[in-house]
Chains A and B, each alone.
Chain A
Amino acid sequence: NAGVTQTPKFQVLKTGQSMTLQCAQDMNHNSMYWYRQDPGMGLRLIYYSASEGTTDKGEVPNGYNVSRLNKREFSLRLESAAPSQTSVYFCASSEDGQGTQHFGDGTRLSIL
């Protein structure tokens, strides 16, 4: 049982390039989330999907788009990467909005 799987694990981009981060969960969870983690800060919510077919903005959505492809998969897209988006990105899933969130091991993204 893999839980939450994120790909890729590492990526280096140049300013202005685009990139899609992939996330898949095998726990049959309804809700999925994208966070970013910066040094000295906790995780901040970028977007979430309460259920298949819905997405909503979190605390820091600017510069990102998301797609809930199906119940298992939730992707995060950077259309025109900026150095300020250098961060570690975590995907999470939960059974519903009140449930425990389970995290993947992250994607470490550097933008030069």
Chain B
Amino acid sequence: GENVEQHPSTLSVQEGDSAVIKCTYSDSASNYFPWYKQELGKGPQLIIDIRSNVGEKKDQRIAVTLNKTAKHFSLHITETQPEDSAVYFCAASVDYKLSFGAGTTVTVRA
């Protein structure tokens, strides 16, 4: 099955700096790559996603890049704010089955 690895497991950044989270996947058939943000006591919320026919996607301060050849994809958050503090999960999907990374706890220091 699909194996998704996510790094780093924790990330502390100064408010206003950028945060980068990287993920790799194993199944070349994976074609959908969402990123979720999870706040304490809540379910994961989709923040951005990318499909295999696209190399990069941006939504305001959030961007995702995908390198299918190398089987890795990354989340970039610019101009971080305190409300960006949360756990972030990457995932890779082949037909219904989402495989998640272990998560990155992001702390934005004021």
A106 to B38 CA separation, bound complex (whole angstroms): 11
Contact B100 A43 (CB under 8 A): yes
Given A90-B44, A106-B43, decide whether A48 and B96 contact each other with a Cβ distance below 8 A.
yes
> Which of A31, A33, A41, A98 counts the most B-chain CB atoms under 10 A from its CB?
A98
- Which size class do A's interface residues fall under? 20 to 34
Name A22-64 residues within 8 Å CB distance of B: 31, 33, 40-45, 48, 50, 56, 58-59
Question: In the complex, which residue of chain A has the Cβ closest to the Cβ of B89?
Answer: A42
- Which size class do B's interface residues fall under? 20 to 34
Count CB-based A-B contacts (< 8 Å): 58
Q: Is the interface of B mostly helix, strand, loop or mixed?
A: strand
A-chain residues with CB within 8 Å of residue B4 when the two chains form the complex: 42
Question: In the complex, which residue of chain A has the Cβ closest to the Cβ of B44?
Answer: A103
A43 to B43 CA separation, bound complex (whole angstroms): 11
Contact A97 B96 (CB under 8 A): yes
A41 to B100 CA separation, bound complex (whole angstroms): 9
Contact B89 A58 (CB under 8 A): no
A100 to B96 CA separation, bound complex (whole angstroms): 10
B-chain residues with CB within 8 Å of residue A106 when the two chains form the complex: 42-43
Name A85-112 residues within 8 Å CB distance of B: 90, 92, 97-98, 100-106
User: Measured between C-beta atoms, what is the minimum distance from A59 to chain B in Å?
Assistant: 7
Give which listed residue, A31, A58, A98, A105, contacts B43 with CB less than 8 A: A105
Given A100-B46, A100-B49, A105-B41, decide whether A45 and B102 contact each other with a Cβ distance below 8 A.
no
User: Measured between C-beta atoms, what is the minimum distance from B30 to chain A in Å?
Assistant: 12
Contact A42 B46 (CB under 8 A): no
Given A102-B46, A105-B41, decide whether A42 and B101 contact each other with a Cβ distance below 8 A.
yes
Instruction: State the B residues within 8 Å of A (CB).
Output: 1, 4, 6, 32, 34, 36, 41-46, 49, 89, 91, 93, 95-103
19 additional A-B pairs beyond A48-B97, A97-B95, A103-B36, beta carbons within 8 Å, are A41-B103, A42-B99, A42-B103, A43-B89, A45-B97, A45-B99, A59-B1, A90-B43, A90-B44, A92-B43, A97-B96, A98-B32, A98-B93, A98-B95, A101-B34, A103-B45, A105-B42, A105-B43, A106-B42
